[in-house]
Amino acid sequence: MTQRSSNGDARTPSPPYGYSRECTHTREQQIHIVAEFHAHKIRPSRIAYRVGIDIAFVEELIAGETEVEKFPRLVAYYRRQRYAQRMHDSRVRSGIARYELQQKIESEFQRDAEL
């Protein structure tokens, strides 16, 4: 549970030491990383703290304020890649379990494509 500071802010403080990292990636690499993580439904704050990319930049990309044409193309590419990988991985199952898993993967992919 977080405590309110004297100014009424209930947000959590900075992440614990050792959790966040310093970013060593170029801007181009950062765009690709954010697109891939976003396609895998990773929260923006998680991307920022784990990889070290500025949270404001991550949120700008996701909101469509920066790299307006490039970022959505990359996200779509990584979503297709994720879809193909999940369908490939579903081959481990057999029968109705495999069919149901593939239907779930397909419906999630279609729903994400509409966003």
Locus of tokens 């199952």:
93
20 domain residue, yes or no: no
d(CA 10, CA 1): 10
76 domain residue, yes or no: yes
68 domain residue, yes or no: yes
**Count of domains for the chain:** 1
Residues 33-54 have pLDDT tens digits of 999 999 988 888 888 888 888 8
d(CA 99, CA 2): 44
pLDDT at 5: 47
- DSSP state letters, 18-80: TTS----S-HHHHHHHHHHHHHTT--HHHHHHHH---HHHHHHHHHTSSSTTHHHHHHHHHHH
Spans of the chain below 50 pLDDT: 1-5
Structural domain span for residue 44: 27-114
- Nearest alpha carbon to residue 23 among 35, 34, 10: 34
73 domain residue, yes or no: yes
Determine contact, residues 31/61, Cβ cutoff 8 Å: yes
12 domain residue, yes or no: no
22 domain residue, yes or no: no
55 domain residue, yes or no: yes
pLDDT at 64: 87
* 24: helix, strand or coil: coil
101 domain residue, yes or no: yes
User: Tokens at residue 114, please?
Assistant: 């509409």
